[in-house]
Amino acid sequence: MEAHSVGSPVLWGGFILFVLAMLALDLGVFHRKTHEVKFKEALTWSGVWISLALLFNLGIWWKFGSEPALNFLSGYLIEKSLSIDNIFVFVVIFSALKIPVLYQHRVLFWGILSALVLRAVMIFAGVAMLERFHWLIYVFGAFLIFTGVKLFVQRNHEEHPESGAAMKLARRIIPSSKELDGDRFFTVQNGRRLATPLFMTLILVELTDVLFALDSIPAIFAVTTDPFLVFTSNIFAILGLRSLFFVLAGAVEKFTYLKVGLSGVLVFVGAKMALVDVVKIPSPVSLGVIALLLGVSIVASLLKSRKQERAAQNKNIAVN
């Protein structure tokens, strides 16, 4: 499978400089001093990142036409939706390791910065492998179908990443303390340099993101193998993950059916990959199916949440 790319050296360089500038602005200006990210601030930044992604998509459409633009938008939507599932796990991690909200942005910033590099490596490796070994697309497709079915079956399973094998191994290898030292990743106790719980949380966040990337990146390959579109859609979604976390962290329990929708998306894109040489699904159809699956699951979740809230209110009124 040969990957044709719309990305020129100028576009690649410009996009990377843009990402670096935004990260520098984020950490060096808006979050130079550690502070608790409030809902309004997080919502504003979420809007900024989504708007930037859509403006970039308009630029793709203007420069290269509707097909690459639809592919970018589909990839962005897949990654953005799967990142919500990522947020569920991040909430569990921060809660289990007792990380104050004040320091959570710092962990997410450095965790996502590392994720950008790791995902770039995974994307280019994946594109190179698909170019050389076409049959891998069937493997990726089968893997996504399996992951989608597994996500549906285990949709009510509680995550406990803080007590998993990876965390136990990290604690054995890295000398660590049990107490925070402000927003520092390392501290000195009795002359020994130790990792704080903040650094151990960072490791867990990075490992979690890598595991989620194993699903999301092959899923975008089902839409396009253009490395520029895969990379940019992935990065835009990841850059908005921090602000989206603070928007949704207090409401994750409301998205009851989201995992059902995500499992449907994974099965759909997996089937699209597996049948790529048999059935050609147009980009507008792919985008429509993905949007429909996610939209229905989110609306159904919110309706159920509202119904439960009304039932609870009626129960309280009856008791009083």
pLDDT band at 320 (very low <50, low <70, confident <90, very high): low
Q: pTM to 2 decimals?
A: 0.79
Name the one residue in this structure whose structure tokens are 């050296």.
9
- Name the CA dihedral angle for 12, 17, 23, 25, rounded to a multiple of 10 degrees: -150
What's the chain's average pLDDT?
Answer: 81
Range with the poorest average pLDDT among 60-64, 160-164, 272-276: 160-164
| 209 vs 4 pLDDT, higher one | 209
**Per-residue pLDDT reduced to its tens digit, 184-215:** 888 888 778 888 888 888 888 888 787 777 77
Q: How confident is the model at residue 121 (pLDDT cuts 50, 70, 90)?
A: confident
Both tokens of 12, joined, read: 């690649």
Task: For 289-301, write each residue's pLDDT tens digit.
Answer: 888 888 888 888 8
State the Cα–Cα distance between residues 133 and 251, nearest whole angstrom: 43
| pLDDT confidence tier of residue 318, bands split at 50, 70 and 90 | low
Q: At what angle do helices 101-132 and 136-153 cross, to 10 degrees?
A: 140
- Contacts with 200 (C-beta within 8 Å, 6 or more apart), sequence order: 97, 167, 170, 171, 174, 176
Q: Is the pLDDT of residue 1 over 50?
A: no
Q: Cα torsion at 205, 206, 209, 210 (round to 10°)?
A: -150
pLDDT at position 63 is 92
CA distance 198 to 191: 20
Q: Which one has a higher pLDDT value, 70 or 113?
A: 70
